[in-house]
Amino acid sequence: MNPGLSILVVDDEAEYRQLFHILLRDAGHEVDDAASAADALTKLAANAYDLVLSDLVMPNMDGIGLLRAMKAMGVPAEVIIVTGYGSIRNAVEAIRSGAFSYFIKGTDPGELLHEIEKINRLKQIVRTELDLNEPLLSASASPKMRQVEHVVEKVAATDLSVLLSGESGVGKEVLARHVHDNSLRKDGPFVAINCQAFPENLLEAELFGYEKGAFTGAVGRRIGRFEEAQGGTFFLDEALELSPAIQVKLLRVLENRSIERLGSNKSIDIDIRLISATNKSAKEEIAASRFRQDLLFRINAVNIQIPPLRERREDLDMFISYFVARFSRKYNRAVTAISDEASEFLKTYPFPGNVRELSNIIEKLVVFSQEGQIELDESVVPTDYAQPSTGIDSRSLRELRKETEKSYIEKVLIHYNYDIGEAANHLGITKRHLFNKISEFGLKY
């Protein structure tokens, strides 16, 4: 449950002020009220509110006037307009003037609370004061991840070798850097190499370096990665992919704590801490004789298994908030809400690509966000997750969905005589979402 918002209720009728006051206070929000737009502007100048819930029809300045005055003053609070006149024109005007949402007096107050909860979801990001320059590695709600954090805390400051196992994208490299940053070697270098990225002959030269003339093309001396990592941490990604020949050489390095550059017999002492990563099962690689048991002992003093994201769904909310905040900042987008559809997708999608995939998806959703709201954009949803079309023609799934949606929404609107509340209810979406669809599809109302 998110902590409450600070809300200013603006209504010229005392009875409604009181009603909303009680409703919102009971839902855990902090409530203040004002009897006119002028009164509200005075309060807004003196206090910070997250949300203004304003009546539309008031003497002197009405709700839309208040909204415009707030925008002109640069008040950042969201606005929900309340009216007893459930006409769509007022609602559309309020939304066009920048209101977050619209509520019709006398309809289900649960819907109002639901809209407020949407605003609240993202306000938490600002409140949690996440350090967006740092990865999210503590305060996990998942017992499996807490165990990982516990082990990392214990071993970071030692020189023990660590093998990080886990699927692609779970954050093995992120964790390796974290171990380094919390080790006694933190002022030394962190040198990462992906074993799969190099063909075998090049990998050896890359790791050990070479002297001029060591092989054709070795036109000058080159320091290898082991040497570059002197005094720091050496991160060997995809370590179980190493060829048998390189495995023997690595074993020798770890046993002797020294290397020789290619083309030289001079031994150079090496002071590194080794962290390796793999998405394979060490047990299987050993059983299939693809990896040496003696080398595994050396690289695996401590084994840390990072669970896939689908096994730590408790952390999804935290990651969603973190990435939304991070990409909002990166693209300078003031995201204030996630639509129900987008939220539902993010909470149910299995994320086979783990944290990397979640991060990529949220980055695109933030880029596509409109009016501060993240909507579920079909082009962002992985294709194997989208529903397939029934007939085959030249239309993309996206076009087909749009057409089907447009004609269905039109039918529902006609059926309910353009009563937005009823139509939205029937469609199972919010009024705001329906307004967006009406304007997106250019529907008449």
Q: Under the rule (CB under 6 A), what is the footprint of ligand ATP?
A: 135-137, 166, 168-174, 237, 277, 279, 355-356, 359
CB of 124 to ligand ATP, least distance (A): 17
Is 225 or 431 the residue whose CB approaches ligand ATP more closely? 225
CB of 251 to ligand ATP, least distance (A): 23
Is 77 or 170 the residue whose CB approaches ligand ATP more closely? 170
202-208 CB contacts, 8 Å cutoff, 24+ apart: 203/243, 203/246, 204/245, 204/246, 204/249, 204/262, 205/262, 207/246, 207/249, 207/250, 208/249, 208/259, 208/260, 208/261, 208/262
Is 166 or 307 the residue whose CB approaches ligand ATP more closely? 166
Is 101 or 233 the residue whose CB approaches ligand ATP more closely? 233
CB of 135 to ligand ATP, least distance (A): 3
User: Cβ(225)–Cβ(234) under 8 Å?
Assistant: yes
Chain residue whose CB lies nearest ligand ATP = 171
CB of 173 to ligand ATP, least distance (A): 3
User: Cβ(300)–Cβ(160) under 8 Å?
Assistant: no
CB of 209 to ligand ATP, least distance (A): 24
CB of 278 to ligand ATP, least distance (A): 8
Is 354 or 425 the residue whose CB approaches ligand ATP more closely? 354
Is 237 or 375 the residue whose CB approaches ligand ATP more closely? 237
Is 63 or 308 the residue whose CB approaches ligand ATP more closely? 308
CB of 166 to ligand ATP, least distance (A): 6
CB of 319 to ligand ATP, least distance (A): 7
Is 236 or 420 the residue whose CB approaches ligand ATP more closely? 236
